[in-house]
Amino acid sequence: MPNEYRPATDVEPILDMQSPVPLTDPIAEDISRPAAEIKPALSPQRHGPSFTLPLIIITLLAVTTASLFYNQTQQLKVRVQDLTNTLASQKIEPIPEPTIEIPQVSTPSATSPLALAQAKYPEAQLILITSDNPHLENQTVTKYWFRQSPDAKNYLYISFIADESSLVDQQVYVSPDNNIPSLNQRMQDNQLGLTQVQALTLTNSLCKQPEKCQQATAIKTQFLDTGSSLLWQITYQLQDSSQPVIFQINSLTKEVVYQSQK
């Protein structure tokens, strides 16, 4: 609360008082001379205030300034209080944080067929991979062929059709089975060489008429370990041809081992 300024009401004006000039007796002189004219003594004079008016003006200005400052301060306090009351009366809803959901993408495992087979036959050995129509996405049938155990001549395969798997272990035969080496370790170590897509790209480029290979009525692939190499065999059944076109490619070196079309 600012100090209040009040005009002084009990201050008497300051006067410059002078003592009256003392009167002197007339000097006795020759009466033949006219008496000197005697001027009356000056009466005491009251001088007006020398700085009263400026003081009053300064006082009034100070009072006016203080009054204006006080009024502005009070108005500011009222506005601040009104704003505080308004904010307090409003209900501010918190802004919810966005929820980000990261979809879980499943990546097919290279060992998934082996894991599926060994879930039922712990000693199962992968010996052959075959595929029908690998160039037709919706009609591709891929089969992983296994021995049920290293010394058995009993077999099973896991079939993948449109990403759906099924295990078949009844009336399954592999002929001839002259001790085909197991692919288990190579599959687990990702050491199978060319993928099926890479092998098809290579054999397509080797065709005398690539457009005919690409438009073949049927394509079959086989992958196995011959004991001397990992081998891809690609068979094209061409339109208007009774004889298929066959390529055998070393999966590790990309060497053409056999080509029926010269």
pLDDT tens per residue across span 204-225: 999 988 888 888 989 999 999 9
- pLDDT digits over 155-170, tens only? 999 999 987 899 999 9
Share the mean pLDDT of the chain. Answer: 74
Per-residue confidence at 241, pLDDT binned at 50, 70, 90? confident
- pLDDT digits over 117-151, tens only? 999 999 999 999 999 999 887 889 999 999 999 98
Residue 145, beta-bridge partner list: 128, 157
Residue 26 has pLDDT above 50, yes or no: no
179 within 8 A of 153, measured Cβ to Cβ: no
- For 74, phi then psi, to 5°, come to -65, -40
Residue 6 has pLDDT above 80, yes or no: no
Which burial class, exposed, middle or buried, applies to 8 when counting CB atoms under 10 A from its CB (0-12, 13-18, 19+)?
Answer: exposed
Residue of higher predicted confidence among 193 and 63: 193
Residue 258 has pLDDT above 60, yes or no: yes
Residue 102 has pLDDT above 80, yes or no: no
- pLDDT digits over 170-197, tens only? 999 998 888 899 999 999 999 999 999 9
Among 221, 214, 217, smallest CA distance to 237 is for: 217
Confidence at residue 17, expressed as pLDDT on a 0 to 100 scale: 36
Please compute the mean of the pLDDT values over residues 15-24 and round it to a whole number: 38
Residue of higher predicted confidence among 244 and 91: 244
Residue 28 has pLDDT above 50, yes or no: no
DSSP sequence for 156-183: EEEEEETTEEEEE-SS---SS-S-PPP-
Rounded distance between C-alpha atoms, residue 127 and residue 179, angstroms = 9
Residue showing tokens 């020398």: 50
Predicted TM-score of the model (pTM)? 0.57
Rounded distance between C-alpha atoms, residue 221 and residue 248, angstroms = 10
Please compute the mean of the pLDDT values over residues 63-91 and round it to a whole number: 63
Confidence at residue 239, expressed as pLDDT on a 0 to 100 scale: 85
Which burial class, exposed, middle or buried, applies to 123 when counting CB atoms under 10 A from its CB (0-12, 13-18, 19+)?
Answer: middle
Per-residue confidence at 116, pLDDT binned at 50, 70, 90? very high
Rounded distance between C-alpha atoms, residue 231 and residue 222, angstroms = 8
Please compute the mean of the pLDDT values over residues 10-28 and round it to a whole number: 38
Q: Where are the beta strands (DSSP E) in the chain?
A: 125-132, 141-147, 155-161, 164-168, 218-225, 230-237, 245-250, 256-259
